[in-house]
Structures are given as structure tokens and as C-alpha cells.
Structure 1
Amino acid sequence: MAIGPTIGTGLFIGAGQALAVGGPASLLLSYIILSILTLAMTTSMAEVSTHLPSQHGTLVTNGYMYMSKSFAFASAYLRWYTLALFVPYEITSAMVNLGLWKPGSTIAIRLAIITTIVVGCNFLPERLFKSSERLFTAIKIGTMATLFVLSLALGLGGVDAQPPWGFKYWKHPGAMNEYLVRGVWGQVLAFLQCLFDGSIAFAFAPELIVHHAEMPASLMPASVGEAAILSASIPGIVKSDVAQTAFPYILSSLAMGVMAPFNDTRLTNNGTGSGSSPYLIGLRDAKLQIVPTIAMVAILLSAVASGRSFLYLSSRTLCAMSELGHAPSAFSTRNRGNVPYLAVVASALFSSLAFVSVKIPSTIMNTYLLRLVTSACFISSLVSCATYIRFNRRLRAKGMAKRYSSSLQPFATYFGMVISTLLLLGSGLWVAPNGNLTGSRAIRLIVSYVNIGVFSLLFLVHLFKDFVSVAEVDKQMDLGGRSYGNRAGPREPRTQKMHPHRGGVYAIPEASGASDLRVRQTMFTEP
């Protein structure tokens, strides 16, 4: 599974909030729609990646190839800080899981221990970190499979003295909950909010899947014929990874609807925010002796492991941006263990947000972080759709044919744009009820839409910076081409700007037999 390293509390705990607001039928339908959205996004990204594989990922590289520099700059930094925000989200999720199991007043100590583990593991030599990552991924996938089997046993066969549960929670309290208003419209609003909350489990799934598929082809020398073969294999790998991701997730959503009713207050910690996993609630209600404790430890381990993975992804994204010239060069500095330690430190600074849980409950802070990361992921999906559309236009303008065309495109891209826009604009729906959340409705509204402002600000700052640098050059030249300071002197040539990712890609073999992916630079003078 391509997104195995990021399987965490978004699936085990985040889905509990979605179940509480929507009900089991809404949760199942939401995961089906989100799986279709993942397929739509991956097929569009696969077309772009098959044409020109990149070892640095879609939002870091392809934006500079097909979009404006300012747009690419904003999307790359959005990806970096969103991945970094997942770290405090996973840490606070671990705190929620640990606090509900064994409440205590030593919140700061627990936070410090978990954060130290998450950050400290990222300073391990890269080879050792990747080896441990495979182990943690296997544990998390095993946890997901075991919890599903237990729910299947409780639902169909019963365990010990427990009779089979079947789909009793679909009948009472019901398959679909109501939200804000009663009746059909209340069920529609509940489904939409369930869709928003459930999307955390699929965050960045399309890009991670495509990046996993294009890595072998992106590192192959262009002179080797196998590179074209590996590039052509990207669509098949992508489809396989989508199926391996979507199918277990859909089954998990069905299982969670069997394990707990949507009106169980433990799902949202009495309406304050994140709560217990539906799996833990079901195992406790079944009165199994040690199984709930083992499941709690496994989910806690998943949260810590996912925090490690997201910090790794975030720091490597910043390092890639630095290596490509889009971030300060210091962030590409690596130690003997091949760890970009300054990039790790910069990304780890976002972990400090988890310590807000010392002042407000971790269940509430976790909910705020969930809204932040999901809205940013919706923007990333829209960026990917815009990149695909621009990619198609540029190929048509040059009269070039694509290496791969999906039968779902371009309709799947338009579907992705519609759903992502709906999710982004509707992400403030949770502001409406009063509930027990700390903070005014204005604060919750800001949390829901702040990423739109951040993305726009990044775009405008970079655009203004480019405009100022060009305007300064023009101001120093008179109409005859001579500078104002020395009109009799010879005309100085204007500095041409380098746009490093507009063009093709070629590989330069190294003496050791390895290959180094280089990007052909196209020179042009800006007006």
C-alpha cells in the first residue's frame, strides 16, 4: 500500500467524528465517494507523471513546469506546511487516545515524550529510518486488518457470550443521522459534514500514490530503454495502489458502523471534539478482557508512527524545494546519515502547536488541527487539477501527444474540481452548532478558511517579489538602453531570468554508474 506509512488516527479516530455526525450509512457512502475522488485525482496526476516522471513529487515539480512561478511557489509551500501540520495532529490524536484510556494531569510530560520520539526518530540515519518505517507500516496494516476481523466476528458470529450484533446500529438509532435541521435536509447536511470529517483518512493519498509509482522511472537514465518501460508502468501501479487503498478503507468504514452507534457520546468525548475510536468502543462493549487495551496500544503506536512519517515527508519536501532552488539552500544540507537536519528542525517547529493542549483539551485542539489540514488538502487537490488542465493545454499548443491517456479524463479532473471546491467551501459547516468547543464561531470560521488566505498570500508575495525585481531593472535603464548613472557608458545587457523547470528532462550518468536527474533550463527574457 503506497500510503501505508501515513495510516494513522485519521482512519482509526478521525472516522469516529464522521460516524458521530453522519451515521454508518453516511460514513460508508463518504468513503466510497472519497475513494472515487482519489481515483479521479490519481488518473490525472498519472498522465502528467507518465509524460515526465519526477523524483520530487507533483506539487513540488510539476507546478513549475506547467504553471506560473508564483502559483507553483504557493502550492509547494502549502504542501510542505500541511504535511508539517499533520505532525501535531497525530501527536494530539495520540494524546486523545491515551487520555481517554488513562486520564491524568501530566499532559505536558506526555506531550514531551511523544514529541521527542516523533522528532528524534527523524534524526536517525535515513537508511535506518526507512527500515523501521517498513516495520511500523506492517504493524499498522496488521492493526487495520485485525480490527476488521474482530468487527466481523462480533457482527456475524459473536464472541464468547455475546450474540451476533449484525447491523443493529443501522436500525437503531438508524443508518443516517441528522445535522442542524430535521428531516431529509438534515440528513443531507449530516452526510456533507461526514464527508468533510472522513476526508482526513484520504489526505494527500493521490499524490503519495503517484509519487510512489513514478519514483523508479524518475531515477532511471534517459539513455536506458528501461526508463520508458518504467514510465509506461506508472498507470498500472497507480490503479493497483488505489484499489489497495480504497478497498480496505471502505471495508473499515463498514466495520466501524457495526462497532458503535452514531449517538454514542464517547465518539466525540461528549461533543467536545475527537473521541474514542469506534473499534475501541465496540471492543469495550463486547466486554473482552485484554483486547481493548491491546487495540488501544496499537492505535497509539499508529499515531506516533504516522507522526514520524509525516515529519519525514515534510522535511524531505522542504529539502527538495531547497535543492531545486525554491527554498533557502541551507535546508538541503545533510549530515553523514543523509539527514537534512535543518529541514527536519524547520518542519518539527510545527509540533509545538500540540502543546496548546496544555491550555485547552487535546480533543478540541485535535479537531482544530483536523480542520486545518483537510482544508489545505482540498486546495492541493484543486492545484493538481489546475496543473493537469494547463499540462493538456501546453501539449496541444506544441502539437505533442501524451504518453498515456486515461479513459476517465478529462471528466475525472472536472469531477475532482467540483468535489474539492464543494469540500473546501463547505468546510465551515461545523461552525454552525454551538457544541462544547472552545472558541467563538469566528475563530472556528477562521480555522476553516485560513488556508485560502495563506495560499493567496504566498502567491501574492512571490508575485510582488518578481514584479519588484523586474521593475528595478527597468528603472535603471533609459529608453536608449544606457543607465542613468552613466549615460555615456556602454549598454549593459539585461539579466535573463532562469526558470529551471520549463522544459524537458534528461539524465547525466555518473562515473559510478548511477544517474543524476537534471532539468533542462529554458532561457527567456521577461518583458
Structure 2
Amino acid sequence: MSKVDEKNDSLEEKGGVSEYVVAEDKHQFDASERDGVKRQLKERHVQMIAIAGTIGTGLFLGSGNALRGAGPLGALLAYMLVGTVAYASLCAIGEMTSHAPISGTFPHFAARWVDPAFGFAMGWNYFYTNAITVPVEVTAATILITFWDQNLNHQYGYTALICVLVCLINIFGVRYFGESEFFFSICKLLLITGLIIVGLVVDLGGGPDHDRRGFRYWKNPGAVARAGLAENIGTDRFLAILSVLVQAAFSFQGMELVAIAASETRSPRRNITKAVRRVFYRIFFFYICGILVTGMVIPYTDERLLDASGTAAQSPYVIVMTSAGIKVLPHIVNTGILFSAFSAGNSFLFASSRVLYGLALRGQAPKQLAWCTKKGLPLAAVLTTSAFAFLSFMNVSEGAQQVFAWFVNLSTIGGFFGWWGINITYLQFYRGFKAQGLNRKALHYNSSLQPWLSIWGVFWTTLFILINGFAVFFDFNASDFLVSYLNIPLFFGLYFGWKIFKRTKIWKPEEMDFHTGIPTVEETEEPEVLPTTVGGKVWHALF
């Protein structure tokens, strides 16, 4: 008799339901007894992290690169398209997390409902992608400081200080992480809201120069820029839009952080549901409105958009403020972007350490990385991930800058693989629920647009992965080709390597385990305390 049969017999003896599918022990799906993290994130932490947790330099500074590369309409279309894919991915992971708010999140879901080897590849790809993004944001924060202090000899000190602070916040524990992200998220919300309002005021002639811009720059120099890759104007403009997709993706990267934090969140099912349902408005207001206003206030031909300083001087909002004669705001904007870069690095370190911890819990990473303190901190995983932050010193050394730039590009493409894997996993999850007669509508969160959202997500992420380096074929360069497409053999090398080594199989819908090690609603959800004051009710409605 197999172990699965023994467990089903045991369920029957205890009055359980025999139709539950229970995985064999070798897959280590039940890590509940070894999982030492504690639920310390409160509702206000989760909601603010969901709204602004990973907004960083990709939005505040990268929007200028997108505008320069594709023009106002081209950049808007690119951000809208990537926004729909990010939304599809978040809806997918939100529904799966609503069913299983446990450590390991979507790499574990992939192992449980697709193939253990697929979960292995997903987990290590996501760990690498986020771990390498930590020094990217640390470097961005260091460069932002040069807006005030241009002495390059001080860069080593600033880099060391930011690295240490980011690591310490995570080492102190999830409660300190939650409080810091709550503060930084408020700062980022105020900044992006203020920039959009200032941009609209300047556009309508409310700046010191009283120049009413309207949609002037959509007509001259035009709505869509040229890529300079093809002779046909229409084709070249289409290629320009494709060229900014990766930049747009970097701006959206990390939106799934709220689901990764589910195992350390109080009442995770209720709070994750709230966060996912409100993310559509976040995408529309902060990203779409932000890029729309950017294209209204500055032409894509403005030479200042070529500024590669990495400071607020590169921000299209600061450029238009300077043009309009507003002198004080650029310093405020640089401070806000500095907070954003620091916060994003903090968030990516948290996300990558938790994914590494989940891999270790289930035997897909060294078991020593699953060690937790009595207070619920996966310290070994946090310390291991923290080491990546110090790669930011590579950017201070001239000889290593090119290597660091390759890391940046590789991490961005790795984000596409993360979304791709999430949507594939959801489609399997959907099939399994249907085959086993389980009711998705009974979950705290479910989307009526599924499975079409995930089909949309799989289609576009597959396309993004294949075309992200298309420009290299117009002027072939071996190093650029390698950076653009190395992630493909890397991901599938991880998948087939683990599959051959462990002899795993792709789960059939009737074989998927939706039960083992997953806490019940009664075990995770606390009674909801509704606010009684007017201010509390407004906050509850918005966040």
C-alpha cells in the first residue's frame, strides 16, 4: 500500500473525507511543523505595501526613458499593456494565496500544482531576480544623493551606509519591516500624487511661466517616437513601443510582494483580498495617469531626458519644473525618490529572503537556510540575501560597471519569467479545482475574469520573453544577445536539471494536493473590527 493510500485510509478512520488528495512525504509539501515565521504584519502594513511597496526609481525616473524611447502615446500604450499583464498576474496569485496563505508562496504553488521541478525553477529564478534588484536600488539611492553631494569619493561611504540600513531593517524582523514600509509608502503616495497634480497644474498654465501646454507635444514633435531601426515609419514607431516594454516592466516589478508576505500577515485571506481588489486603481492612477501627465508636460525630444545622472535631474517632472521656473520642488522630489529607492531595495530583500526560506523549508535549497529565530525571523535566509546588497559596490568601480549593467538587465527579464510562471500555475490550479469538484467561489478572493486573465498573462509574458532583445538583431552584439536571452536556458536548465535529478512529474488535475499543510480559515482569520470614527471609516474605505 502506498503512503498516499495509507493517508487516505487514516483520514477515513478519523472521519475525514477520503477524496482529499494528499501528496507523498518525499515532496515535503507539509512544512507547517518546521515553519517558524509568525504573523506580525497588520492590516495597515499590508494595504500600504500593496499600494506602494515596490514603487521605486522605475516609475519616477524610468518614465523619462520610456517617454524618450517611444513618445507620449507610445509610452502610455506600453505601460497600459504591461499594466494589464501585471494585474492578471496579481489576480492569479491573489486567488491561490487566498486558498493557501503559507510560506513559499507561488514557487511552492508551482511545485504543488504544476510540477515540483517547475516550482524549483520558479523559486530560484525569483530569488535571483529580486536579490539582484536589491543592489540596483541601493545604487540608485546612492546616485540620488549626488544631486546634493557630487564628490564621487563619498560614494563608497553612502553605498555602505544604505546597504547596512537596508539589511538591518530586515534583520530586526518583519514588524520593523512593516513599520518602515508603512512610512515609506505614505511618502511615495504623497510624492506621486503631488507630482501628478503639479504636472496637471503646469500643463494647464498654472506654473510661474503661465504656459498652457495642453496636448501640444502630442502634435509636435508627435505622439509616437521612432526607434531608428527600420525605414518604414509605421514599423519603426511600432518597434519603438516594443523597446520600452522592458522599462515599463521594471516599473511594475515586485507587485506580488503582498502575496509573498501572506505567511507573516494577520488575517491573510481577508487582507490579501482587499489588497488585490484595489490594485487595479493603483495601476490606473499611479502608473497610467503618471505616464500620461509626463507626456503632456515635456516633449520626448528634450535633450535633458538624455541625462544619465540617475538623480532627480533625470526626472521628467523635475525637468518641467525647472522649465516652468519652480525652484524648490526639485529638492523635495529628489528626497522622495531617494526614499522610494531605499524602500524598493528593502522590499526586494524581504521578498527574495522569504522565497529562499520557502525553498529551504521544502528541500529545494540547503536546509540550513530554513533556520528561524524564536521571534519568527528566517535569519539564515535574510543574511544570505543581504550579502547581495553589497554587489552595489561593483557600480562604484569603473571596471565592474558593465557587469553590473548585465545583472540589471537579467533581473528585469527574470521578472517576466515570474509572471509567466504565476499564470501557468494558476491555469493548473483552476483545472485542479474544477476536476476535484472544489468551489472557487467559496474562496475569500476569486476573479470572475479567470481563467481568461491568466491566458492573457501567459500569452503576453511569453511574447515579452521572446522579443525583449529584438533590437540586438538589427545590430548584432554577442554580449547584448547573451544578456537578453540568457534567462531562457537558465530557467529551463533549472527545470530539467531538478526534474531529471528528482524524477518529478507534471501533476494531473485529479492528483493535485489542495489540502496538505494548508491552514483553515478558522486558524488564520481574526474577527474584523470595523472603525467607528469618520476618519477611520475613510481610511478603511481607501486602504
TM over 0.5: yes
TM-superposed deviation, 1:274: 12
Contact 2:143 2:310 in 1 (8 A): no
Q: 4+ runs of 1 displaced by more than 6 Å?
A: 212-218, 270-275, 361-366, 513-516
1:444 maps to: 480
- How much does 1:188 deviate? 0.2
Matched, 1:323 2:372: no
Per the alignment, residue 390 of structure 1 pairs with: 428
Q: What is the CA–CA distance in structure 1 between the aligned matches of 2:448 and 2:264, rounded to whole Å?
A: 24
Select 1:156's aligned residue among 193, 200, 204. 204
Q: 1:80 corresponds to which letter in structure 2?
A: F
Q: Does 1:193 align with 2:243?
A: yes
TM-fit CA distance, 1:252: 0.6
Return the match for 1:133 from 181, 184, 187: 181
1:205-224 equivalent positions in 2, closer than 5 A? 205=255, 207-208=256-257, 210=259
1:317-356 CA deviation, whole Å, 9 max, x = no partner?
A: 2223323443223223234664333212211222233222
Task: Note if contact 2:71-2:223 (Cα within 8 Å) is conserved in structure 1.
Answer: yes
Which amino acid letter does the alignment assign opposite residue 72 of structure 1? G
Distance 1:23 1:135 in 2: 34
| Deviation of 1:167 (Å) | 2.6
Amino acid at match of 2:462: T
Residue identity matched to 1:120: L
Return closer, same or farther for 1:275/1:81 CA change in 2, 3 Å cut-off: farther
1:297 corresponds in structure 2 to 335
Deviation at 1:284, TM superposition (A): 2.1
CA displacement 1:96-129 (0-9 Å, x = unmatched): 4344665332233332232222223322243223
Q: How much has 1:453 moved relative to structure 2?
A: 2.1
Q: Secondary structure at the match of 1:23?
A: helix
Find 2:253's aligned residue among 203, 213, 219.
Answer: 203
Q: Give the letter aligned to residue 215 of structure 2.
A: F
Counterpart amino acid of residue 478 in structure 2 = A
Q: Distance in 2 between matches of 1:11 and 1:242?
A: 16
Give the distance between the partners of 1:285 and 1:361, measured in 2 at CA.
Answer: 36
Contact 2:294 2:316 in 1 (8 A): yes
Q: Per-residue deviation at 1:194?
A: 1.8
Q: TM-score, normalised by structure 1?
A: 0.79
Q: Structure 1 210/515 Cα, relative in aligned 2: closer, same or farther at 3 Å?
A: closer
3-state secondary structure, aligned to 2:345: helix
Question: SS at 2:176's partner residue?
Answer: helix
C-alpha distance in 1, partners of 2:311/2:192? 23
Pick which of 149-158 and 329-338 moved more.
329-338
Q: Which residue identity does 1:314 align to in structure 2?
A: S
Letter in 1 for 2:139: T
Where do 1:228-247 residues align within 5 Å? Answer: 230=269, 237-247=275-285
Using the alignment, how far apart are the partners of 2:201 and 2:179 within structure 1?
Answer: 33
Corresponding letter in the other structure for 1:290: V
Partner AA of 1:352 in structure 2? F
Q: Does 1:18 align with 2:66?
A: yes
C-alpha distance in 2 between matches for 1:194 and 1:274: 20
Q: Secondary structure at the match of 2:226?
A: coil
In 2, the alpha carbon distance for the partners of 1:264 and 1:363 equals 27
1:313 positional shift: 1.7
Equivalences for 1:390-409 in 2 at 5 Å? 390-403=428-441, 406-409=447-450
- Residue 175 of structure 1 and its aligned partner are, at CA, apart by 1.3
> Which residue is equivalent to 2:419?
381
The answer to whether the aligner puts 1:115 opposite 2:126 as a matched pair is no
Q: Deviations over 1:490-511 (max 9, x none)?
A: xxxxxxxxxx9934046679xx
- Please identify the structure whose Cα radius of gyration is greater: 1
Is the 2:146–2:311 Cα contact (8 Å) retained in structure 1? no
1:35 corresponding residue in structure 2: 83
Go from structure 1 to structure 2 and tell me whether the alpha carbon gap of 1:501 and 1:10 turns closer, same or farther (over 3 Å shift). Answer: farther
CA distance in 2, matches of 1:134, 1:272: 25
State the percentage of identical aligned residues. Answer: 29
Contact kept? 2:143, 2:311, Cα under 8 Å: no
C-alpha distance in 1 between matches for 2:492 and 2:467: 19
Contact 2:414 2:487 in 1 (8 A): yes
Output the CA distance in 1 between the equivalents of 2:258 and 2:374. 29
Please state how far the C-alpha of 1:244 moved relative to its aligned partner.
2.6
The alignment status of 1:63 with 2:110, answered yes or no, reads yes
Conserved in 1, the CA contact under 8 Å of 2:225 and 2:237?
yes
Deviations 1:162-193 (A, max 9, x none): 42332332222221100022401111000111
The 10-residue stretch of structure 1 (379-388 or 327-336) with the greater mean CA deviation from structure 2:
327-336
Q: Give CA-to-partner distance per residue, 1:370-414, whole Å, 9 cap, x none.
A: 422221111112212221222233334434443366432222222
2:492 maps to which residue? 456
CA distance in 1, matches of 2:400, 2:142: 7
Aligned match for 1:428, one of 469, 476, 486: 469
Alpha-carbon distance between aligned partners in 2 of 1:210 and 1:108, rounded to the nearest angstrom: 35
Distance (whole Å) between structure 2 residues aligned to residue 138 and residue 212 of structure 1: 19
3-state SS of the aligned residue for 1:6?
A: coil
Count of residues in correspondence between the two structures: 465
Pick closer, same or farther for the CA change 1:178–1:366 going to 2, 3 Å: farther
Match of residue 326 from structure 2: 288
Partner of 2:454: 413
Amino acid at match of 1:48: M
CA offset at residue 424 of structure 1? 0.8
Separation (CA, whole Å) in 2 of partners of 1:432 and 1:508: 50
User: What runs of 5+ residues in structure 2 fail to find an aligned partner?
Assistant: 1-47, 506-510, 526-543
Distance 1:46 1:272 in 2: 34
The residue aligned with 1:371 is 409
Q: Does 1:7 align with 2:55?
A: yes
| Most deviating of 337-346 and 21-30 | 337-346
Q: Which moved more, 1:257-266 or 1:99-108?
A: 99-108
Cα deviations by residue, 1:49-82 (Å, 9 ceiling, x for unpaired): 44x2223364232112211111111101111121
Corresponding residue for 2:234?
184
- Aligned counterpart, 1:310: 348
8 A Cα contact 1:169 1:258, kept in partner: yes
Q: Comparing 135-144 with 167-176, which one deviates more in the overlay?
A: 167-176
TM-score, normalisation: structure 2: 0.76
Note if 1:104 corresponds to 2:142. Answer: no
Q: Which residue of 2 aligns with 1:482?
A: none
CA contact (8 A) 1:93 1:366 kept: no
Q: How far 1:18 moved relative to its partner?
A: 1.3
**Residue identity in the other structure for 2:318:** L
- Amino acid corresponding to residue 253 of structure 2 in structure 1: A
Label 1:326 to 1:391 Cα distance change in 2 as closer, same or farther (>3 A).
same
Of 215, 220, 232 in structure 2, the residue corresponding to residue 172 of structure 1 is 220
User: What is the identity, as a one-letter code, of the residue corresponding to 2:238?
Assistant: V
Residue 22 of structure 1 and its aligned partner are, at CA, apart by 0.5
CA 273–113 in structure 1, closer or farther in 2 if over 3 Å, else same: closer
Q: 1:32 and 1:128 mapped to 2: Cα distance?
A: 34
